[in-house]
Amino acid sequence: MNTKKLFLTLFALFAGASSLIPAAAVAERDNGRDQFRQHESRTEQRDSRQTDTPQRVERQAPQRAERQAPQRAERQAPQRAERQAPQRVERQERREQRPAVVQQRTYEQRNSNMQERRHMESRRTFHIEPPRQIVRPGYYRHVPRNRYFMGIRIYRPYGYLYPGFGFYYSDNDAFRWLAFTALTLTIVDHLDEHQQRMHEQALIRATSAEVGDTLYWDDGHASGSVTVLYIGTDSRGREYREFRQTVSARGRTETSYGSAYLKRNGTWEVLESN
């Protein structure tokens, strides 16, 4: 009995194992097929994406270029117009109104410019009169013809020798215009001190006059005038003026031309005279 039972149990176990083995094989086979199908589907999707991407790029690239081109053009057009407009205006203004650059002009050019303005008609005339109250110093010593005061050269080759300039009777008061002593004429030897100061006062008034203004004076047998021929700026931005001065005395008349510029400390420096 025991052997029979043992035989039956072994047969049952063997039969159960044989039935399980093909089921597991079928399951593994089905799983392998599913994985293969999934792999094929993935590869197909990748291939389709790779084929679609260049087409999309080719489609989207011209569309983006067409959209962005007018936008960029619209943005750049006003910017270029805004940049070019002030540049054109500045160029036109520079061409129309060019400042006089004194430092870059030669002596012959400045002299020719003054010769061209000799026949310019004056716009206004002003009569120079002495001040009502002249406070002269009780005594002042005679000064040399060529001297310096605070770095300014004072040169009087003709006429009377005295300190100051115009109706400023001290060098300290006439500090701004002492350099104008270089704008002198030989006919000044025929003037007295008062007439000489009258002409110097006309030069002082000419530093604040406008272009074409004439400052004239007359005293006894002598008379004179100073005319502003030109006002401009040099390369450093300093004011520059050209003058014409005329003196008549004892039947003689002399005319001279000169130029000077205003320094930053308020004093004038003579450039040339002829």
Residue 88 confidence (pLDDT): 67
Assess whether 185 and 142 both reside in one domain.
yes
Mean pLDDT, range 175-198, rounded to an integer: 93
pLDDT score at 52: 54
* pLDDT range class, residue 143, cuts 50, 70, 90: confident
Q: For residue 266, what are the domain limits?
A: 107-273
Please say which residue of 75, 98, 121 terminates a domain: 98
Does residue 87 share a domain with residue 156?
A: no
Question: Do 142 and 260 share a domain, yes or no?
Answer: yes
Structural domain count, the chain: 2
Beta-bridge partner residues of 148: 153
Total-model pTM = 0.56
Tell whether 182 and 90 lie within a shared domain: no
Beta strands in the chain, from DSSP E residues, in sequence order = 125-127, 146-149, 152-155, 214-219, 222-233, 239-249, 252-262, 268-273
Indicate whether 177 and 234 sit together in one domain. yes
pLDDT digits (tens, 9 = 90+) for 201-224: 999 999 999 999 999 999 989 999
pLDDT recorded at residue 102: 40
Average pLDDT for 152-172? 91
pLDDT of amino acid 57: 47
Pairwise CA distance, residues 259 & 17, whole Å = 129
pLDDT bin (cut points 50, 70, 90) of residue 20 is very low
- Which carries the bigger pLDDT value, residue 77 or residue 173? 173
The 10s digit of each residue's pLDDT in 220-253 is 899 999 999 999 988 888 999 999 999 999 999 9
Reported residue count of the chain is: 274
Can you read off the two tokens belonging to residue 84?
A: 């070019």
Top mean pLDDT of 7-16, 102-111, 124-133 is at: 124-133
CB 140 within 8 A of CB 169: yes
Question: 263 or 55, which is more confident?
Answer: 263
pLDDT for 192 equals 92
- Which tens digits make up the pLDDT trace of 71-118? 665 666 566 656 666 666 566 655 554 444 443 344 445 555 555 554
Quote the tokens at residue 128: 């120079």
Strands 214-219, 125-127: pairing kind? parallel
Among residues 65, 98, 131, the one where a domain terminates is 98
Quick one: 93 and 135 in the same domain? no
More confident residue, 48 or 163: 163
